[in-house]
């Protein structure tokens, strides 16, 4: 599903009311006043009246990224790597009862575990329902995914060992939302503006509530970054401290993606009706590095070590198109695929492989890109 989509209704910028949740306090910074800003070579020094970004020149060496190979899987929507040589995909399941599609019966898309060596796939939760949009827990034991009915999605968590799943309430959630914050808790948003935390047993806790639609949200360092749906697309940070009020960070934001250490953000801003900009910013929204501009920028994902950003872009009038990887310190970019991603990109644990799904000729195709 395309994330940069038109909204027919006018969104109302919400005022968030925080629900205290002590478990999340561990996400707060240590308060030393000096934090590593993510990729090696950039530090953010916090002073009482200012924030200073220091660039330390790294040892010069050849770090040019190259593509060593691309493997493809037809009629499959690749999502997440699990362990060494396994991939979560979504594809039509011919072994279950068909469901009603647009005017005809169709085989539902189910989630599978695909072996990259044997090229075989096993259905993880076979059912006559559409499944997809998954995220794997850091320890690889659980899978957060969505069961979809047309454009409506409902959350589930699957135990990958027992193959048992639990429903995460009955309220529709954003199909593109979902972030594991540790091995047993996943954060996501609902279409009604709730920001929820779910554990692997299916228990839910509302940690914040907005008065309207949330365009995107993510757990950050000690709180939640969220974009209030509305004409201004306002980015806020909501601290998890009891009684804290939301702090406005920026306008015109479409996506916000915290780095793995949550000390930097990849930000996609709408700078005009036909232009977006991808930048690396600090926790207060100050620009550290401008990476690229394009008509659409989508699918952004940090590498596990926080040194690279993968993204998909579309440009008009003969500009760059396809999937790129940027050095998050220098901004140097490498084209890795000339097709646009249909979903958020994902890395393997080593940061040497990247999985993406593209859509062509009425079906999805998965590409596994090997990088040097």
In the block, residue with structure tokens 């394009």: 294
Query: Is residue 50 pLDDT above 80, yes or no?
Result: no
DSSP 173: B
281-312 pLDDT, tens digit per residue, is 999 999 999 999 999 999 999 999 999 999 99
* Per-residue confidence (pLDDT) for residue 40, from 0 to 100: 45
CA-to-CA distance for 336 and 43, rounded, in angstroms?
A: 29
Query: Residue 140 corresponds to which tokens in the numbers above?
Result: 């690889």
* Per-residue confidence (pLDDT) for residue 43, from 0 to 100: 53
246-263 pLDDT, tens digit per residue, is 999 999 999 999 999 999
List C-alpha distances in Å: 159 to 13, 174, 176, 197, 201: 36, 22, 21, 17, 10
Mean pLDDT of 342-347: 94
Report the sign of the C-alpha dihedral through residues 258, 259, 265, 266, in that order: negative
Q: 333 pairs with which residues across the strands?
A: 326
The structure's pTM equals 0.82
Instruction: Please name the fold of domain 77-209.
Output: Neuraminidase (2.120.10)
* Per-residue confidence (pLDDT) for residue 42, from 0 to 100: 56
Query: Residue 318 corresponds to which tokens in the numbers above?
Result: 């003969």
Select the highest-mean-pLDDT range: 62-76, 92-106, 344-358. Answer: 344-358
119-153 pLDDT, tens digit per residue, is 999 999 999 999 999 999 999 999 999 999 877 89
* Per-residue confidence (pLDDT) for residue 316, from 0 to 100: 85
| The CA-based dihedral angle spanning residues 133, 294, 259, 194, taken in that order and rounded to the nearest 10 degrees | -50
How would you label 301-315 residue by residue, b for 16+ Cβ within 10 Å and e otherwise? bbbebbbbbbbbbbb
Mean pLDDT of 100-116: 92
Assign 317 a pLDDT band (cuts: 50, 70, 90): confident
**φ, ψ for residue 282 (rounded to 5)?**
-85, -175
3-state SS of 117-167? CCCEEEECCCCCCEEEEEEECCCCCEEEEEEEECCEEEEEEEECCCCCEEE
Which has the minimum average pLDDT: 41-50, 158-167, 329-338?
41-50
In the block, residue with structure tokens 């999985």: 355
Domain ranges of the chain: 77-209
How would you label 151-171 residue by residue, b for 16+ Cβ within 10 Å and e otherwise? eebbbbbbebeeeebbebeee
DSSP 175: T
Exposed, middle or buried by CB within 10 Å (0-12, 13-18, 19+), for 356? Answer: buried
Q: CB–CB of 306/290 below 8 Å?
A: no
Q: CB–CB of 206/256 below 8 Å?
A: no
* Per-residue confidence (pLDDT) for residue 309, from 0 to 100: 98
Q: CB–CB of 371/336 below 8 Å?
A: yes
């Amino acid at each position: 599903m395309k994330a940069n989509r038109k909204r027919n209704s006018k969104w109302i910028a919400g005022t968030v009311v925080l629900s205290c949740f002590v478990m999340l306090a561990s996400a707060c910074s240590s308060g030393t006043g000096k934090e590593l800003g993510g990729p090696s070579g950039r530090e953010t020094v916090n002073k009482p009246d200012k924030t200073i970004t220091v660039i330390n020149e790294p040892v010069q060496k050849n770090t040019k990224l190259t593509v060593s190979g691309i493997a493809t899987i037809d009629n499959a929507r690749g999502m997440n790597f699990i362990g060494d040589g396994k991939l979560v995909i979504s594809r039509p399941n011919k072994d279950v009862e068909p469901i009603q599609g647009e005017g005809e019966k169709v085989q539902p898309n189910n989630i599978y575990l695909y072996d990259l060596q044997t090229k075989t796939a096993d259905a993880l939760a076979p059912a006559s329902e559409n499944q997809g949009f998954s995220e794997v827990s850091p320890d690889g034991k659980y899978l957060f995914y969505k069961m979809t009915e047309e454009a409506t999605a409902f959350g589930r968590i699957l135990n990958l060992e027992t193959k048992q799943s639990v429903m995460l309430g009955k309220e529709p959630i954003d199909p593109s939302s979902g972030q594991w914050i540790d091995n047993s808790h996943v954060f996501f948003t609902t279409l009604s503006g709730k920001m929820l935390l779910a554990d692997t047993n299916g228990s839910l806790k509302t940690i914040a509530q907005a008065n309207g639609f949330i365009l995107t949200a993510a757990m950050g360092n000690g709180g939640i970054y969220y974009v209030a749906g509305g004409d201004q697309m306002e980015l806020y940070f909501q601290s998890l401290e009891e009684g804290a009020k939301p702090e406005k960070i920026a306008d015109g934001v479409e996506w916000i993606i915290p780095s793995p250490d949550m000390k930097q953000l990849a930000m996609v801003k709408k700078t005009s009706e036909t232009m977006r900009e991808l930048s690396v910013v600090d926790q207060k929204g100050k620009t550290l590095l401008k990476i690229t501009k394009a008509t659409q920028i989508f699918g952004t994902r940090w590498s596990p070590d926080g040194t690279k950003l993968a993204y998909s872009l579309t440009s008009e009038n003969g500009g760059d198109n396809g999937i790129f990887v940027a050095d998050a310190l220098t901004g140097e970019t490498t084209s890795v695929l000339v097709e646009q991603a249909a979903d958020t990109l994902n890395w393997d644990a080593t940061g040497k492989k990247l999985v993406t799904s593209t859509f062509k000729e009425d079906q999805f195709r998965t590409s596994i890109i090997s990088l040097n």
